[in-house]
Structure 1
């Protein structure tokens, strides 16, 4: 088993042991930090996954963005090509269970949004280092997307998910900011 896979499994187990109260504290802290960032405040269109039970809550982020008149675009996994296609949605009847039980937009009821129209991309992950490198959920979808994405990238995680250094491959790309319940890390400053 690869080092990344071992780290991923260990962290997912640790996160699954968090109480609902501890999870809520982390999520509230992340959201308070995120909502103060110029990247969030200035974004007209935000790309964000629709969170599952094992991920940090994005429903609050989505509702806040809608309340501010922003467009929310969420990904649909194209399993054959390992690509993410983003679609703008604004109602529960426009999403359904998709790949791996993840809620995804229904293409027939939504409008596809090109990567170039997404101002802020909230990138999921399981483990991060302070330079912005991440271990995701193992599908490789975001590694492919980030190679073609030029907007701002932010990841939400807990302090618990930060480690010193992640083993990385040549194709791995860092996110620009990591937001925890306690702070905002500007990863470009860590890479110099």
Structure 2
């Protein structure tokens, strides 16, 4: 690897993150609420069409697409809701079942996360679908995250678990969810970046069927 090229790539991604965060922030609170509800309705369509019974999803922070309408819908449908808790010391995530809003506390980075004293840990290989936030997406599975690598590490962990467990025949679907203004023609990707199985915005969805585990 060329250190100079790495530095250029890193600087370009940092500039793109800043630009895309500003683009998202420019949406009014009213627009964000409206578009979030529309996107969550499309996400519910995906869940319903594929008969998915569990999902991992983030709790919204700052100007992220508001995932709470989808969480409320899942609770009403009896779908298991799993929410991550960030561990900054090794940039990993623990997964917890979320059954009520009062199980959330302010966690790492000020994000609302499950209280480990009140929420039950999710110890299964993986949920049926993982709804992934981000700063930018494209329609080929590209995603620009926040730079911490949390979701990439989770992907590696779940893939390893799927391969180690002979009974596990399917991996989770990884689907981006965001506003249409976050969609680019092409997001810069590196070898270690997780390619998504689809994308949902307020304008619709494009999601593959569930991928079979390798091996």
TM-score (norm 2): 0.81
Mapping 1:30-45, distance limit 5 Å: 30-38=39-47, 42-45=51-54
Mapping 1:138-157, distance limit 5 Å: 138-149=147-158, 150-157=171-178
Q: Deviations over 1:123-150 (max 9, x none)?
A: 1111011111111122110111122332
* Alpha carbons of structure 1 residues 92 and 22: separation in structure 2 relative to 1, 3 Å: closer
- Number of the residue aligned with 2:68: 59
User: Is 1:181 aligned to residue 190 of structure 2?
Assistant: no
* Alpha carbons of structure 1 residues 187 and 6: separation in structure 2 relative to 1, 3 Å: farther
TM-score (norm 1): 0.90
**Structure with the higher strand share, 1 or 2:** 1
Deviation at 1:61, TM superposition (A): 0.9
Query: Where do 5+ consecutive residues of structure 2 fail to align?
Result: 1-9, 159-170, 210-215
Mapping 1:84-99, distance limit 5 Å: 84-99=93-108
Structure 1 runs, 4 residues or longer, greater than 4 Å off = 38-41
SS of the equivalent of 1:167 reads coil
Query: Where do 5+ consecutive residues of structure 1 fail to align?
Result: none
SS of the equivalent of 1:42 reads coil
Tell me the C-alpha RMSD between the 2 structures: 1.9
Bigger Rg, which one: 2
